[in-house]
Amino acid sequence: MRSIDFSLQATDGQARAGRLHLARGVVETPVYMPVGTQGAIRALPPELIRPTRTQILLANTYHLSQRPGADLVAKHGGLHDFMQVDLPILTDSGGFQVYSLKPEVSEDGVAFRYEVDGKRTVLTPEISMELQQKLGADIAMVFDECLPFGVDRAYAEDSLARTHRWEARCKVAHTRPDQSLFGIVQGGFWPDLRERSAYAVREIGFDGYAIGGLSVGEGPDVMKEVLDATTPHMSPDHPRYLMGVGRPQDLVEGVARGIDMFDCVIQTRHARSGMLYTSQGRLRITDRRYRNDMYPIDTSCDCATCSRFTRAYVHHLFRVGEILGTTLATVHNIHWFHRFMRDMRQSIIDGTFETFRKGVHQTYPEVDDGPPAGQHEVTGSKRAARRKKRKHGRKG
């Protein structure tokens, strides 16, 4: 018996407006999921999450399994009690993070060195399922291999077959009836491999289906080509999730190709650097021009930050290094993206999606972009390693 129910309310072309019915609430799609990698959305207290209109959020199995450990989370009754969040949660299996650590890959699983202390760690499909069931999120993801951009086809074909075997093992190992399990379509950047994967994963059978292996440096045009080659072969009756994508122009292009769910960290990461999203485009609140600006961040936004505080005040907080500045910026960015997705959903219902899509590209043109198509979380230890590398480079 499935622990998830998905229904469509409207379509406009391939764009879909739907509803996910989960035990902890109904999620209206298309939806963006904020990322709480380590069991928290950075700089955002739990009581401020729901007021941003967040419907569902994401946490990461790999990071939480290392610190504090899935057993400790289970002692709290699972992630919801651990984080004190009463919203639906999805846990990523950690495949992207494992891929970024250059693991030893075998039929059994992967072995790698944990980036914090160098401890050798092993992950298999069975271990990933055990960890995610202990974490107790509403939706778990299968364990797969995420391929880097530029990998050769021979390896991609071998990896794809192995990933499908891993996904079948995940389904057998996953026994928690109150937790849904999503499969992941891989296949690198070859249309025929993506098509093959879409049908193979559907044949195994899951509660929802994700597209993985994008946002790895391929650029937006290639990403759209991969989506064009993939989504037509995915189940029309299940939710579709594009992993690690979050720019406004990428979100609208994903929805235009039938995607329902997205996650990304740029909303919170950019907030911490003072980069804020508005209906007129992005602004950097740390710029001197906002020192005496008495307007809210976005005059059309009704978030808690825009309702009470001026650009001048938020600018001041960043200049003096006050953590409240990061919190107010994070509240705004997350709220803004939820409103963005809600307006996109309404355009699908109204049959005006193409007009909405055109407006997004006028406000957020490709040339205005800074980050790549998708952003995945970088841990503090990785930042420290990069700083150390730069420091040593300067000394040399």
Tens-place pLDDT, residues 163-216: 999 999 999 999 999 999 999 999 999 999 999 999 999 999 999 999 999 988
- Residue 99: inside a domain: yes
Does one domain contain both 247 and 284? no
Please tell me the predicted confidence (pLDDT) of residue 142: 98
Does one domain contain both 63 and 137? yes
- Residue 391: inside a domain: no
CB of 24 within 8 A of CB of 87? yes
pTM recorded for the entire structure: 0.91
pLDDT, tens digit, 9 for 90 and up, residues 371-390: 444 443 333 334 444 444 44
Which is higher by pLDDT, 379 or 80?
A: 80
Does one domain contain both 16 and 99? yes
Task: Give kind and range of the element (H or E) at residue 162.
Answer: helix 153-173
Does one domain contain both 100 and 224? yes
Please tell me the predicted confidence (pLDDT) of residue 103: 83
Instruction: Find all residues with CB under 8 Å of 122, minimum gap 6, and list them.
Output: 109, 110, 111
Q: What is the Cα–Cα distance from 91 to 107, expressed in whole angstroms?
A: 23
Angle CA 229–106–59, to nearest 5: 65
Please tell me the predicted confidence (pLDDT) of residue 396: 32
Residue ending a domain, choose from 235, 264, 293 = 264
Does one domain contain both 239 and 108? yes
- Residue 269: inside a domain: no
Does one domain contain both 284 and 244? no
Q: What integer best gives the mean pLDDT of the chain?
A: 91
Does one domain contain both 305 and 352? yes
pLDDT, tens digit, 9 for 90 and up, residues 224-266: 999 999 999 999 999 999 999 999 999 999 999 999 999 999 9
Does one domain contain both 252 and 288? no
Whether pLDDT at 94 is above 50: yes
Q: What is the Cα–Cα distance from 148 to 392, expressed in whole angstroms?
A: 27
**What DSSP designation does 266 have?**
H
Task: Give kind and range of the element (H or E) at residue 354.
Answer: helix 353-363
Over residues 124-141, mean pLDDT: 97
Does one domain contain both 168 and 31? yes
CATH of the domain at 58: 3.20.20.105
- Residue 376: inside a domain: no
Residue ending a domain, choose from 264, 287, 312 = 264
Torsion sign over Cα 13, 19, 20, 26: positive
Please tell me the predicted confidence (pLDDT) of residue 154: 96
Residues labelled as active-site residues = 92, 263
- Of the pLDDT bands very low, low, confident and very high (cuts 50, 70, 90), residue 2 is low
Sheet holding 120-123, edge to edge: 104-105, 110-113, 120-123
- Residue 80: inside a domain: yes
- Residue 373: inside a domain: no
Residue ending a domain, choose from 264, 291, 325 = 264
Structural domain count of the chain: 2
Please tell me the predicted confidence (pLDDT) of residue 119: 80
Which is higher by pLDDT, 382 or 272?
A: 272
Whether pLDDT at 114 is above 90: no
Please tell me the predicted confidence (pLDDT) of residue 365: 94
Does one domain contain both 31 and 160? yes
Question: What is the share, in percent, of the chain residues with pLDDT greater than 70?
Answer: 91
Please tell me the predicted confidence (pLDDT) of residue 117: 77
Distances, alpha carbon 1 to alpha carbons 49, 92, 266, in Å: 31, 22, 36
Q: What is the Cα–Cα distance from 227 to 255, expressed in whole angstroms?
A: 10
- Of the pLDDT bands very low, low, confident and very high (cuts 50, 70, 90), residue 370 is very low
Whether pLDDT at 1 is above 60: no
CA nearest neighbour of 30 among 10, 49, 47, 58: 10
Does one domain contain both 115 and 155? yes
Please tell me the predicted confidence (pLDDT) of residue 93: 87
pLDDT, tens digit, 9 for 90 and up, residues 13-43: 999 999 999 989 999 999 999 999 999 999 9
Whether pLDDT at 342 is above 90: yes
- Residue 309: inside a domain: yes
- Listed in order, strand segments (DSSP E) in the chain are 5-12, 15-22, 25-29, 31-33, 57-60, 89-92, 104-105, 110-113, 120-123, 139-141, 180-185, 208-211, 240-242, 261-263, 275-278, 281-284
Please tell me the predicted confidence (pLDDT) of residue 3: 63
Instruction: Find all residues with CB under 8 Å of 63, minimum gap 6, and list them.
Output: 37, 38, 94, 97, 379
Domain range for residue 230? 5-264
Instruction: Find all residues with CB under 8 Å of 233, minimum gap 6, and list them.
Output: 194, 195, 198, 199
Does one domain contain both 245 and 305? no
- Residue 370: inside a domain: no
- Of the pLDDT bands very low, low, confident and very high (cuts 50, 70, 90), residue 98 is low
- Of the pLDDT bands very low, low, confident and very high (cuts 50, 70, 90), residue 350 is very high
Instruction: Find all residues with CB under 8 Å of 283, minimum gap 6, and list them.
Output: 275, 276, 290, 297
